[in-house]
Amino acid sequence: MAETDPLRAAMIEAAERQLASSSDHEIATRAVCEAVGVSQPVLYRLFGDKRGLLDAVADHGYERYAALKAAQERTGDPVADLHAGWDGHMAFAQANPALYQLMFTPRPWSHSTARERVMDLLVAALTRCAAVGALKLEPRTAAQLILSANIGTALDHIARPALFDDPAPSHRMRDAVFSHVLAHTSDRQDGDPLRTAALRLRAQLQLGGAEALEPVETALLQRWLERITQP
Amino acid sequence: MAETDPLRAAMIEAAERQLASSSDHEIATRAVCEAVGVSQPVLYRLFGDKRGLLDAVADHGYERYAALKAAQERTGDPVADLHAGWDGHMAFAQANPALYQLMFTPRPWSHSTARERVMDLLVAALTRCAAVGALKLEPRTAAQLILSANIGTALDHIARPALFDDPAPSHRMRDAVFSHVLAHTSDRQDGDPLRTAALRLRAQLQLGGAEALEPVETALLQRWLERITQP
DNA sequence: TCTGCCATGCGATCAATGATACCGACACAC
DNA sequence: GTGTGTCGGTATCATTGATCGCATGGCAGA
């Protein structure tokens, strides 16, 4: 899993550079090979395909994305972190439009897992919110909602980059989705209190586990909580 | 504006067919030309470019989209129409995934106006909502929000078509955005009543105009309403 | 009616690009 | 020392976007 093939890494970086500077968001395998001083067959040996190269570039983009997230998150208030996460996502899209589209726009073949892993990061951030009772939905459900909205907004901004100048549209969407997902501090008592309590406990279990319980007991408890929070 | 060049139309339709049936969402100019029995230079004479052809396909896709919208809308309740419009958008994405991406995914060059025109349709539908006092935001602002969310959700569904089976995720997003944009019948009295009244009047003017006022007077009134509804 | 023009389409061809077949060189185990 | 396998290169193929110059045919005007 170390994945420290310097040649492979160099080609991925060259491809990413050319993708960023290309006017049509395309790359040529020849140009990538020339940039690192090797010939075409090595590319096909390393990546199998042009699609394989693009998948690798997308996955590498995820690494940068995850590093950016890791550098900023965890202020102590998971809800504040969530807001910052939305804005960080938009900033990443603005800084790397071509790479962003490669990562988040559906490609029919694409074996890249960038989107799924970004989703996992978001689920983790949401689970931390649920652990303090701030979440009205299941983390995965909420993550799907938030990620789709975030991507939709980012793609709109990429199509019309002038939008990036004004944070209002992005924040409107953010507030709209978050208010549907988060338990307002004001209307803390909305919905079924049993359900919210169960969601909260479930998230706590997912995060830390319970030393006081045996693994079997924990598993059974989780299944009960699932049934409570299901509908 | 009649645009009734049968050859041009045939090529656009052939291109759309091949786009829909291609596994990688790509088309070859040669194949399109062969399908209609002409040779390549005619394509370049008619569309100038492969990009030009794709733009034409996207615009043709808008025609189909608009026809679908025109066939369903106007039940009398503009808010109900808005909900149906969201679902219709998702259905269009499911039925024509490749065409959908061509229309709504940002392409660096692309002179297609499909997205802008879809936005205009949405603005019109929202203006009808505002005319009955159901809108909390300016129609254009609301339209931008709704369209981004709709596209984001549709792209997510296209990437994982199994999602289309369950309407819940789509409807969650729909409700989240709509509740942020529409004036709930329950909390009709939320926000500034003056502002909502002004928004409502503004929409009514946009729809029908006021016969009782001179054009200059109407124009001045609209500027006043703009200032009232601005912040 | 004849003539020149131009719109329209075509065969041939170019250039770029994705992809592969085959060869040579080097390291290493036996 | 020799076989083996990894690694890289040269040459080449096939596809595809794009263009050049020519042929054809209808039509306005003498």
For residue B2, the model assigns a pLDDT of 45
Indicate the residue of A108, A148, A158 with minimum beta-carbon distance to B173. A148
Q: Is residue A37 classed exposed, middle or buried when 0-12, 13-18 and 19+ CB atoms within 10 A define those classes?
A: exposed
pLDDT band for position B184 (50/70/90)? confident
For residue B187, the model assigns a pLDDT of 47
For residue B112, the model assigns a pLDDT of 93
Based on its alpha-carbon atoms, the radius of gyration of chain B, rounded to whole angstroms, reads 21
How does A89-124 read in b/e, with b if 16+ C-beta sit within 10 Å?
A: bbebbeebbbbbbbbbbbbeebebebbebbbebbbb
Q: Is the pLDDT of residue B137 over 50?
A: yes
Query: Which residues, 6+ apart, have CB-to-CB distance to B148 below 8 Å?
Result: A149, A152, A153, A155, A156, A173
- The rounded distance, in Å, linking the Cα atoms of B74 and B12 is 30
pLDDT band for position A187 (50/70/90)? very low
For residue A1, the model assigns a pLDDT of 45
- Dump pLDDT digits (tens) for B139-157: 999 999 999 999 999 999 9
For residue A197, the model assigns a pLDDT of 62
Higher per-residue pLDDT: B190 or B138: B138
Mean pLDDT of chain A: 88
Q: Is the pLDDT of residue B1 over 50?
A: no
**Residues A199/A138, Cβ–Cβ less than 8 Å:** yes
The verdict on A151 touching B (C-beta cutoff 8 Å) is yes
For residue B196, the model assigns a pLDDT of 66
- Dump pLDDT digits (tens) for A76-118: 889 999 999 999 999 999 999 999 999 999 999 899 999 999 9
Q: How many CB atoms lie within 10 A of CB B40?
A: 12
In chain B, whose CA is at the least distance from the CA of A163? B144
The verdict on A109 touching B (C-beta cutoff 8 Å) is yes
Q: Which nucleotides of D are covered by protein (CB under 7 A)?
A: 7-12, 15-21
Mean pLDDT of chain B: 88
- The rounded distance, in Å, linking the Cα atoms of A144 and A163 is 24
To the nearest whole Å, the CA of A121 is away from the closest chain B CA by 17
Calculate the angstrom distance between C1' of C6 and CA of B197: 62
Mutate to test the interface with B, among A54, A140, A173 (most CBs of B within 10 A): A173
Chain B hits for A146, Cβ within 8 Å = none
For residue B84, the model assigns a pLDDT of 96
Give the number of beta-carbon pairs within 8 Å between A and B: 101
Which of the 143-162 residues on chain B come under 7 Å of nucleic strand D at their beta carbon? none
Contacts 24+ apart (CB under 8 A), A28-37: A29/A53, A36/A7, A36/A10, A36/A11
Nucleotide nearest to B52 (CA to C1'): D17
The whole-number average pLDDT for the span A136-158 is: 97
Q: What percent of chain B has pLDDT over 70?
A: 84
To the nearest whole Å, the CA of A149 is away from the closest chain B CA by 5
Does A115 sit within 8 Å of B148, measured CB to CB?
A: no
pTM for this one?
A: 0.86
Nearest to A229 by CA among A142, A144, A170, A168: A142
Q: Is the pLDDT of residue A74 over 70?
A: yes
For residue B220, the model assigns a pLDDT of 75
CATH number of A1-48: 1.10.10
- Dump pLDDT digits (tens) for B187-210: 445 556 566 666 666 776 676 666
Domains of chain A, by residue range, sit at 1-48, 61-190
| Tokens linked to B134 | 């159901």
- Dump pLDDT digits (tens) for B88-101: 999 999 999 999 99
**Residues B24/A109, Cβ–Cβ less than 8 Å:** yes
CATH C-level class of A61-190: mainly alpha
For residue B230, the model assigns a pLDDT of 72
DSSP category for residue B230: -
Task: Determine the residue type at B217.
Answer: E
- The rounded distance, in Å, linking the Cα atoms of A14 and A35 is 7
Chain A hits for B111, Cβ within 8 Å = none
Q: What percent of chain A has pLDDT over 90?
A: 70
Q: Is the pLDDT of residue A180 over 90?
A: yes
* Beta-bridge partner residues of B182: B135
